[in-house]
Amino acid sequence: MLHVNIPTRAELEALVGHRGPACVSIYLPTTPFTPFTSETRADRITLDNLAGRAIDQLDAATAAADRAQRLRVRHMAELMTRLVDDDAFWANQARSLAVFVGEDRIRTFRLGNRLQASVEVADRFHVKPLLRAVTLRHEAFVLALSPDAVRLVEVTADLPAETVRVPDLPRDLADAVGRGSLESRSPRGRIQ
């Protein structure tokens, strides 16, 4: 199961409406598999590298700025470093990670779709890659009925299908339709 947290409409509107002298938007593909594998270490390194690129851009832009602005950039760098080092955060990931860093806070979203690694530094957040995750579903549930079994299967875009355990699920098709057997048929030969 993917651990996604897609932004709500209010969160998306807040991101779109935010303006400031330094807004960092980072997107990177992540692995949804077992935590603390070589892939998750690579994901952390990728985030650290992208954060470093963002800080370099901010440092270049604020080289002639006042001390307060340079301190805000240092605070943003610290927020990103804390995220890279947060083991609990990296324990559950999805297919991509979106990171938005403003001067006073950091906001992350685990997404079900796979995005390319990118970093944008501007006076507003770059939300275009986030829109697909908000507008499209990336998972479905299938109720599989057969004469011998009934099961619920979760299907995602990039992971193998997984059977979901449901208490009191019917044992088979006859149990699901409330019949002792499937022998009672309509004049056209269909199960009633």
pTM of the model: 0.70
Where b means 16+ CB within 10 Å and e means fewer, 131-164 reads eebeeeebeeeeeeeeeeebeeeeebeebeeeee
Task: Please state, in angstroms and as integers, the Cα–Cα distance from residue 145 to each residue in 43, 103, 141, 167, 172, following that order.
Answer: 40, 53, 13, 16, 7
pLDDT in tens, 76-132: 999 999 999 998 898 888 889 999 999 889 999 999 888 999 999 999 999 999 887
Q: What is the pLDDT of residues 29-69, one digit of tens each?
A: 998 876 667 777 889 999 999 999 999 998 888 776 777 78
The answer, yes or no, to whether residue 27 has pLDDT greater than 70, is yes
Cα 77 off chain centre by: 23
Instruction: Please indicate whether residue 177 or residue 14 has the higher confidence score (pLDDT).
Output: 14
CA distance 141 to 147: 20
Pairing outcome for strands 162-164 and 149-156:
antiparallel
Model pLDDT, residue 173: 72
